[in-house]
Amino acid sequence: MQREKLLLKIRLNKRVILFSQEKQQWTIYLLSALASKNMPAYTERYISLERFCSMPGQAAILKDKDIQNIFQVIPSPRNKLLFAIGIYTGLRIGEIVRLETDQVITENGTVRNKLTVKRLKKRGTVYSDIPIHPKLRSYIREYALSTTLGTWLFPSDRSASGHIERVQGHYILRSAYDALRLDGTKTHSMRRTFLTTLSRMGVPLRTVQEMSGHSSLSQLQAYLAVDPEDTRDAVHRLKY
């Protein structure tokens, strides 16, 4: 490790991530191993740049054109709605597949004005109210007309839970990303795109946090992506 020419060093949670010019790979060193005096005991794992970009918290931000293209390549109303909920509410894929029909549609068949999500936190139960975007509303209506809705918004006869599992949601989205060859994307790209876009639009972070469900503003801020254009514009605003 010491002989390698390191171009980048990032500390992520309990790991130190290094990039080796010699090996052209990212290396993850567990901090517990780095603290050891026994060099052979180091725990390391080599991964590609693409794999690094798709790690949790590092999912690529989707551009407007990417989002349009994804809707075009996803074939069914159900799968389109799965993506639409992610990109217009910022819910995690695990939260999306567990949605119940009455969370988005009333008893008389109309689409609700907001989506209420129940989240269990250390400090207790937290409820997040997320307004339903007009485009999301249209995808909900399209899906409702294409199927018979029951308890679960995304039901599955093959699952013991009664709804599609998270792994199936991953597969649906991964198929669309791969078809468009979108590097660094994963299911978490929907959530990260939603929250980062709101932040870049100037929405107060406290408001964004209300929808994201993060326990603190510091957690949310570490989650958001920084656009180089934003930093350049910030400097150019200086008047002195």
Q: What would the pLDDT profile of 45-54 be if each residue is shown by its tens digit?
A: 444 444 444 4
Q: What would the pLDDT profile of 85-131 be if each residue is shown by its tens digit?
A: 999 999 989 999 999 999 999 999 999 999 998 877 667 677 888 99
Q: What residues contact 235, with CB distance under 8 A and at least 6 apart?
A: none
Confidence check: pLDDT of 22 > 60: no
Q: What residues contact 11, with CB distance under 8 A and at least 6 apart?
A: 17
- The mean pLDDT of 198-221, rounded to a whole number, is 77
Q: For the chain, what is the domain count?
A: 2
As a dihedral over the C-alpha atoms of residue 112, residue 192, residue 95, residue 152, rounded to 10 degrees, the angle is: 50
Residue 50's pLDDT is 41
Buried b (16+ CB within 10 A) or exposed e, 212-236: bbbeeeeebeebbbeeeeeeeeeee
Residue 234's pLDDT is 65
Are both 15 and 132 inside the same structural domain?
no
Q: What would the pLDDT profile of 89-98 be if each residue is shown by its tens digit?
A: 999 899 999 9
- The mean pLDDT of 27-34, rounded to a whole number, is 42
Contact 130, 95 (CB under 8 A): no
Identity at 138, one-letter amino acid code:
S
Contact 163, 152 (CB under 8 A): yes
Are both 96 and 166 inside the same structural domain?
yes
How many residues are given for the chain? 240
Are both 70 and 42 inside the same structural domain?
no
Q: 6 by DSSP, 3-state: which?
A: strand
Confidence check: pLDDT of 84 > 90: yes
Are both 94 and 37 inside the same structural domain?
no
Q: 187 by DSSP, 3-state: which?
A: coil
Confidence check: pLDDT of 213 > 70: yes
Confidence check: pLDDT of 81 > 50: yes
Print the domain residue range for 43. 6-47
Nearest CA-CA partner of 46 in 68, 25, 15: 25
How many other C-beta atoms can be found within 10 angstroms of the C-beta atom of residue 168?
Answer: 17
Element (H, E) at 198: helix 188-200
Looking up residue 90, the CATH number of its domain turns out to be 1.10.443.10
Q: What would the pLDDT profile of 167-186 be if each residue is shown by its tens digit?
A: 899 999 999 999 999 888 88
**pLDDT band, residue 19 (cuts 50/70/90):** very low
Are both 42 and 68 inside the same structural domain?
no
Higher confidence at residue 176 or residue 200?
176
